[in-house]
Amino acid sequence: ELLLSSVVLRLQSAEPFSKQQHQGMAAAAQFPRLSGICRMVAAGSTESKVQFVTSQGAGALSALQLADLLSRKITTTYEGDKRTVHVLVGNDQARLYENDLRASTHRAVKFLRECKVKSAEFVIPELPAIPAARAAAVVQQAALLTNYAFTKYITRADKAPVLLEGLSVLSGGDSQQLHDPTVETLCTATILARDLANERADVAHPEFIQTVAHHVAKETGLAFSVIAGADVEREQLNLLAAVGQGARWGPRLVSLEHRGGGEGAPWLMLVGKGITFDTGGLNLKPTGGIESMHLDMGGAAATLAAMRAIAQLRIPRNVVGFLALAENAIGPMAYKPHTIVKSHKGLTVRVNNTDAEGRLALADALSYGQAKYNPSHIVDIATLTGACVVALGEHAAGLFGNDDAFTTAIKSAGSAVHERVWPMPILPEHADELRGQMADLHSTGEGRSGGACTAAAFLREFVDSGRAWAHLDIAGPGMYSKASGHFPAGGTGFGAQLLVTLAAQPST
Where in the sequence numbering do the catalytic residues fall?
285, 359
Identify which of 508, 319, 501, 358 has the alpha carbon closest to the alpha carbon of residue 420. Answer: 501
Per DSSP, 66 falls in state: H
Q: Are residues 229 and 250 in contact, defined by beta-carbon separation less than 8 angstroms?
A: yes
Contact between 76 and 84 (Cβ < 8 Å): yes
* φ, ψ for residue 27, nearest 5 deg: -135, 140
Task: Identify the three-state secondary structure at position 158.
Answer: helix
Largest CA distance in the chain: 79
Sequence letter at residue 113: R
* DSSP secondary structure, 394-442, as one string: TSSEEEEES-HHHHHHHHHHHHHTT--EEE----HHHHHTTB-SSSSEE
Short-list 76, 98, 93, CA closest to 85:
76
Nearest one of 226, 208, 184 to 368, comparing CA atoms:
226
What is the distance, to the nearest Å, from the Cα of residue 45 to the centroid of all Cα atoms in its chain?
32
Q: Which of 22, 452, 44, 387 is nearest to 199 (CA)?
A: 22
Q: Which residues contact 433 (CB under 8 A, 6 or more apart)?
A: 442, 445, 446, 450, 454, 457
501 closest CA partner among 187, 74, 174, 240: 187
451 neighbors 459 (Cβ within 8 angstroms): no
Do residues 21 and 94 make contact, with C-beta atoms less than 8 angstroms apart?
Answer: no
Cα angle 480, 130, 506 (rounded to 5 degrees) comes to 70
Distance CA 209, CA 152 (A): 17
